[in-house]
Structure 1
């Protein structure tokens, strides 16, 4: 089960009883490995209202209830460590509460953007360039330590979808002239140094990374050859760490917004382009997979695991449905994907979250 931003940690950033129910349902439904929704490494650096964090003791204790419940159902759970970088907003509640500016690798605003909980369409702001990236790398390390205390089985670095690690990697958002910008090796340095810190805490096989090489979302994407060269280098270097897995997200039309009238993504075949770079770490694939397609890719040994996202939203027993050939029949309401906000009564937060029924086996 892939990370799925659901924004139900109301009224704060601390996981609650319905988060507990949600993850328990899916562990019971056969999700052998669950990756949590993006979990904030610090209060500064979030767009999403009511996304959970893992920077303080209350959050650690709350996550421990969830990891214990997942383990009781026979599942495994990794924490996805997340920082939004330049696509946060200074008026986002957690960002505002942090008293910190919006950070990015360089002072370059992402184009486009809208915020579900801010009036109008304010768009993205010009970020403050990170002065010393090691300060943020240390926050990732502390988050990994906290995740271990919370009982997780490992951590996944969110390096996809135009968030902070991806921003450092992409030459359109990273114009630095220090050791973290310019060449491919320099732009890859930030993410690779984070991975090394995570490995120092967890050991290599309990650390993973998620990448979306096609870009698009949050104004990401380089010219095709530069894009391929950049990701081939990063993936090869990450693979040398002998990680628990490398998860590649293939091209998804929904993550290819039109900016200035043109699609933003650098569309290409991620398996063909990057499979040869991965020799030590298992390769996971995510992005609109069907169960039949996953079976074919696994049988052909093109991937080591199939990762499903949206299908898990409406089918808390997805793995068991696949195993027994039961149809995927949930009628999803996209309005409930990202929660209703703190103004919605607590019981109503369950709508489209924990109220999808399991099938009768």
Structure 2
């Protein structure tokens, strides 16, 4: 596995290896403020040899978080909390990008709920590209565990782009090495891209070029702050949170988007392949996702932008992708393995077993449960 354990330059930053830890929501912040146990969690993985750590999704505005105890980056207390984390990660020898996610009734778009505490505090409706409700949803922190509601169409998307830019400014102040824009998994940017969730008849909807506009304008705004230290995460197969188009439309949409992204000189594009675990069934016997080979289909569109691959990728697969797509695929993200093995890179390099088991019941914490449980208490290998 020699190739995966070589240094790599992404943007203006050099990382120690090509094994990344992707963004994963953990719901351990103090309300929306990063705290000491979060610092311990990230530092454990930095000491464990992660070349690049991408933070959990960071809310760019107060409105509408879908997750309780998810961290934000819109005020000075949050910036200060993140600065402690980035400083500690750097001291431990790793680099860290902030994943920016629009979690308002705009941020996650239609995946919010009007009764969510931060949504109420923001005093705005649940916004989305169009007034189309997503199917499903289960807000466990709200009485009755309600589902999604029909959102209000966003009147001026440029206001949200400005929020992304301000979040990037705040991330730089907080010491992040770069930012990864969350354009995946049925969240706001993906809702603009997908013609099943975007039915607008202005310049932000309709044609592929119009539906891609919000994503491209957001990247442009963030790059004005971070230059080449900007990335984006995409899930072309869809499925999650009730998005997904017919195959021809999917390839045309993401093909156009990636062709335009090539012009930005991004640090990387993270491509997430189809995963049946995240493919809901809203109709009996009919899955929601558009199943196709994401890597094989879209890697050719990225002529000069490094690619990181994600979703169930093994070490052997990663090495093979680096060889088969030399100069294009630059690294791999491993998710669940980083949760259960804080020393994952060291284990893999030294041939130690992956013997910790993920406890899904503690993935997002729970009221009255010790935050460390299933978060910072996984054992390291004995060397």
1:301 to partner: Cα distance? 2.6
**1:330-357 CA deviation, whole Å, 9 max, x = no partner?**
12110111121xx325xx0100000001
Per the alignment, residue 256 of structure 1 pairs with 279
Displacement of 1:220 after TM fit?
0.6
Structure 1 length as normaliser, TM-score?
0.97
- Cα distance, 1:120 vs. partner? 3.0
After TM superposition, give the deviation of residue 122 of structure 1 in Å: 1.4
Equivalent residue for 1:211? Answer: 234
The answer to whether the Cα contact below 8 Å between 1:47 and 1:87 also exists between their aligned partners in 2 is: yes
Match of 2:50 among 20, 31, 38: 31
The CA deviation at 1:45 is 3.0
Q: In 1, distance between residues paired with 2:163 and 2:127?
A: 14
> What CA deviation, in whole Å up to 9, does each residue of 1:274-318 have, x standing for no partner?
111101110000001112221222222362111111111100011
Separation in structure 2 between the aligned mates of residue 339 and residue 301 of structure 1, nearest angstrom: 39
Match of 1:237 in 2: 260
Q: Distance in 1 between matches of 2:72 and 2:87?
A: 18
2:377 matched residue in structure 1:
355
CA positional deviation for 1:134: 0.3
1:104 matched to 2:128 = yes
C-alpha separation in 2, matches of 1:5 and 1:16: 15
Cα deviation 1:145-193 (Å, max 9, x = unaligned): 0000000000000000000000000000000011000000000000100
Deviation at 1:358, TM superposition (A): 1.2
Residue in structure 1 matching 2:247, options 224, 246, 249: 224
Alignment coverage as a number of residue pairs: 355
Q: Give the deviation of 1:202 after TM superposition.
A: 0.6
Structure 1, unaligned runs of 5 or more: none
Aligned counterpart in structure 1 of residue 224 of structure 2, from 200, 207, 211: 200
Which runs of 5 or more residues in structure 2 are unaligned? 1-20, 103-107
CA distance in structure 2 between the partners assigned to 1:92 and 1:358 by the alignment: 37
Matches within 5 A, 1:314-333: 314-333=340-359
Q: How far apart are the structure 1 equivalents of 2:109 and 2:316?
A: 37
Q: Distance in 1 between matches of 2:315 and 2:93?
A: 22
Q: Aligned-pair distance for 1:74?
A: 1.1
Deviations 1:255-289 (A, max 9, x none): 10001222000010011111111011100000011
Give the Cα separation in 2 of the matches to 1:355 and 1:13. 23
Matched residue, 2:192: 168
Residue in structure 2 matching 1:308, options 291, 311, 334: 334
| Correspondence for 2:17 | none
TM-score (normalizing by structure 2): 0.91
d(CA) in 2 for partners of 1:91 and 1:317?
A: 39
SS in 1 for 2:371: helix
In 1, the alpha carbon distance for the partners of 2:193 and 2:300 equals 20
| 2:309 matches 1:281 | no
Tell me the distance in 1 between the aligned counterparts of 2:196 and 2:257: 17
Would you say the 8 A contact 1:243–1:280 is kept in 2? no
RMSD: 1.0
Question: Following superposition, which runs of at least 4 residues in structure 1 exceed 3 angstroms of deviation?
Answer: none
Indicate if the aligned counterparts of 2:41 and 2:375 stay in contact, CA closer than 8 A: yes
CA distance in 2, matches of 1:45, 1:147: 20
User: What is the deviation of 1:100?
Assistant: 1.5
8 Å Cα contact 1:158-1:210 kept in structure 2: yes
